[in-house]
Structure 1
Amino acid sequence: MSKKLFTSLTLALWLFMATFSSLAQPNNFVVDTNGKPVDNDDEYYIRPAITDNGGRFTLINRNGSCPLHVGLENTDLPQGYPVKFNYLSNNVQDEDVRVNRELIVEFVDVLTTCVQSSYEWRVGENDTNSGRRVIITGRDDSTGWYDGYFRIVETQSVGIYNIQWCPIEVCPTCEPICSNGGILRENGKILFALDGAALPVVFQKKDD
């Protein structure tokens, strides 16, 4: 083998390995509306990247009973509740949230008459009309324990993301029906639900 051919093959192999490595390691940081990494010690408002889709994420009293559902405000006024993100394992050393990592999402600073032990997100019931799975809050040990793990996935636009339910990291044998979250309009309310068009979102740090 000539030296020139050997050099070309080596370069081609290096480029392939570099490309494969960048695709295989979903370690990019999630950034907020100021372009700074999202920190799991801080609180953030989630809101649609396109304001015509609603306002900040909030708690929705869907049918007059608990638990409360995850949804969006009907306006883009500064309302809604912030969230915090927590990794599924305390062994994770990163304080900055990364894309494609499974997380617990929880509303904080909640003031409501519906007292719950937790306002963590989880997959709830199927909507009877659309068949879509709505997102509710609170723990329920009677359902699949992996229902409360979500991930933030990138879109083609920097700083704009989808929120996805696909708990293959915590339960690789569960074969979940993965889906991005989107909006479901019902009786003047905006619910957050799976199995429909994805809702691109951004993360705004509280008090910014």
Structure 2
Amino acid sequence: MRSTALAVSFFTLWLISMALCTVAQTAVLDTNGLPLETGVEYYALPAITDVAGGLTLINRNNSCPLYVGQEPIAPVVSQGFPVTFKPYAEGETIIRESRDLTVTFQAFTNCIQSTAWRVGEEDLETGRRFLVTGGEADYFAIRSTTGGYSLVWCPTESCPTCKPRCGSAGILIENNKRLLVLDGPAFPFRFRRVN
């Protein structure tokens, strides 16, 4: 009986600490200053305007899977494809900084695959890892940075015992294509809600 009461006490303390942790973490804000919400579509845009367009799907090798990349600078800057975020924490409706979440493009492709993001292969020349779509989604996080937010791969909630090679997402230009990769300088983003 005593061990049951002790287990219930520990479980209650754990629930309270998880609730406090969730409340204490800052919400990620969109360009209107409102918290990002689960399942709502947003454009992921450069924090610095006139750098290039929003995030999109890139056909890197004329085959599937499609890569996560950035629209080029053009006479009219494209917002790219919208994305949705889904937190690892069950029932969470607000996207919070440094919490595990999946990112999925809201787009249709010629590839018969998911448009959820995952970490792909490593570029042999630069040692940076590409972000691709298709397959099982990986968990990312959004962190506040100077002038915007950075996208980070460093799963903690979804895999507390993992020791991943964490990395911030930045841009690698290859054959005039702007590809999103890990392990280099972070590229700052902002998020605009799709109307």
Which range, TM-score by smaller chain? 0.7 to 0.9
> What SS is found at the alignment partner of 2:60?
coil
Q: Is the 8 A contact 2:71 2:78 kept in 1?
A: no
> What SS is found at the alignment partner of 1:113?
coil
Identify the residue that residue 114 of structure 1 maps to in structure 2. 111
Q: Partners of 1:67 and 1:181 in 2: how far apart?
A: 19
Identify the residue that residue 78 of structure 2 maps to in structure 1. 78
Identify the residue that residue 126 of structure 2 maps to in structure 1. 130
TM-score by length of 1: 0.77
Q: Is the 8 A contact 2:119 2:130 kept in 1?
A: yes
For this pair of structures, how many residues does the alignment match? 174
TM-score by length of 2: 0.82
Q: Out of 151, 158, 161, which is 1:173 matched to? A: 161
Which portions of structure 1, spanning 4 or more consecutive aligned residues, are displaced by more than 6 angstroms?
Answer: 22-25
Q: Partners of 1:178 and 1:111 in 2: how far apart?
A: 29
Q: Is the 8 A contact 1:54 1:190 kept in 2?
A: no
Q: Partners of 2:185 and 2:29 in 1: how far apart?
A: 23
Deviations 1:77-124 (A, max 9, x none): 2341100000124x33x311111110000001x1332221x1100000
Q: Is the 8 A contact 1:151 1:166 kept in 2?
A: yes
Identify the residue that residue 152 of structure 1 maps to in structure 2. 142
Deviation at 1:52, TM superposition (A): 4.6
Deviation at 1:64, TM superposition (A): 0.6
Identify the residue that residue 135 of structure 2 maps to in structure 1. 139
Deviation at 1:139, TM superposition (A): 1.3
Q: Partners of 1:119 and 1:36 in 2: how far apart?
A: 26
Deviation at 1:26, TM superposition (A): 5.4
CA RMSD of aligned residues (A): 2.1
Q: Partners of 2:99 and 2:170 in 1: how far apart?
A: 19
What 5-or-longer segments of structure 1 have no aligned partner? 1-21, 141-146
- Paired residue type of 1:200: P
> What SS is found at the alignment partner of 1:51?
coil
